[in-house]
Amino acid sequence: MSETLVLGAVAYDPKVVTIWDGFQKWFAEKGLDFDYILYSNYERQVEGQFAGHFHVAWNSPLAWLQAHRIAARTGRTIEAIAMRDTDCDLTSVIVVRRDSLIQSIEQLRGKTVAVGASDSPQATLIPLAHLAEAGLDPEKDFTVRTFDILIGKHGDHIGGERHAAKALIEGTVDAACMIDGNHLLFSREGTIPVNSTRILAQTDEYDHCNFTVLDGAPEKTIAHFRELLLSMSYDDPQVRPLLDLEGLKVWRPGRTEKYALLTRAIDRFDTIDAFVTTISKSYA
C-alpha cells in the first residue's frame, strides 16, 4: 500500500458517502492523505482487513468481536483506537404497550417478542441474552419474531428495530427490543405514538462502534489519523455537519471492556464462530 491511509467502512446508508467524502477533504487540509473503501456488509469488511485491503476499519461491535477472535486465532495483534462519544455506555430496552398486562420479564413466558435483524447487537443479541440470563430462553420460553432487514450490516440501518416497534404498536407482538436511543427516536418521529409504550426491562451498559487497527498498519500514519480524529471540534463549521451525520459530538479514545455483554450473547447463541473459523483458516 502507499502512504495513503485507507479506511474500510460499511455502506449501511447513502449518507456514508457524504460523511467520508467530507472527512477526506478535512483530513487532506490537515496533511493526511486519506481514502476509503465501502463494503456492503461487515463480514466482507472484516475479511478485507485481514487480507490487507485497508489499514483501519470502522467496525460495528459485532465486527470488532469477529476481528478480535480471528486475530487471536491467527496470532495477530488488534486494537480499538477510537470511538464516538455516542458509542459509549448504551443500553437496550424491552418495551411493551402501556396498556399491556405484562409487568415483569417472567410474564413474557409464552408471549411473542419482536427483535431487529438477527445480527443486530443492540436490537437482538444483547436484549435476547438479557432475557435468557433472567431465566427465559428464546424460542423455548417465548417466540422470537425477527425482522431480518439488510443482514450483514449488523443493525446499523435500524430498519429492523423500526419494524419491531411498529409490530408492537399494531399489536401483533407482545414486546419489542431496541436500543434506548431509538426508543426515543421512534417516539419523536411518530413510529411509536407518544405515551403508548413503557419499558419493561433495560440491559446493562455496553459500547458500540470503534476504529479497529491490526498490526502491520503504518504506525505513524495511524497515529496521525487518531490524533486528528481526537482533535475534531464540534465548533468547527466544516466538520460539525459531518459529525451530526455520523451521530457524535466528539471522538474518544477506544476501549473494549464494555463489549462484555455482547461477548456473552454471541457465546450463548453461537453467533460468529462459524465465520471466525472460516476466516481464521484462510489467514492462519
Query: pLDDT per residue over 208-226, tens digit each?
Result: 999 999 999 999 999 999 9
pLDDT of 1: 41
> How far is residue 66's CA from residue 272's CA, in Å, rounded to a whole number?
7
- pLDDT band for position 36 (cuts 50, 70, 90): very high
Residue 49 CA to residue 33 CA, distance in Å, equals: 19
Cα–Cα distance for residue pair 156/121, rounded to 1 Å: 9
For residue 121, the model assigns a pLDDT of: 98
What is the DSSP annotation of 155-183? TTT-HHHHHHHHHHHHTSSSEEEEEHHHH
Identify the pLDDT of residue 5.
98
pLDDT for position 284: 86
The pLDDT assigned to 85 comes to: 98
Distance CA 88, CA 82 (A): 11
Instruction: With H, G, I as helix, E, B as strand and everything else as coil, classify residue 105.
Output: helix
Res. 113: pLDDT tops 80: yes
Query: Cell digits for 258?
Result: 464494555
pLDDT, mean over the chain: 97
Task: Pull the grid cell for residue 74.
Answer: 491467527
Output the pTM of the full model: 0.96
Map out the domains of the chain with their CATH numbers. Answer: 5-87+207-283 (3.40.190.10), 92-202 (3.40.190.10)
Contact 147, 114 (CB under 8 A): yes
Describe the strand order of the beta sheet including 92-97 as a list of residue ranges: 143-146, 112-115, 175-179, 92-97, 197-202
- For the stretch 187-215, pLDDT in tens is 999 999 999 999 999 999 999 999 999 99
* pLDDT score of 255: 98
Q: Based on the number of CB atoms within 10 Å of its own CB, is 85 exposed (0-12), middle (13-18) or buried (19 or more)? A: middle
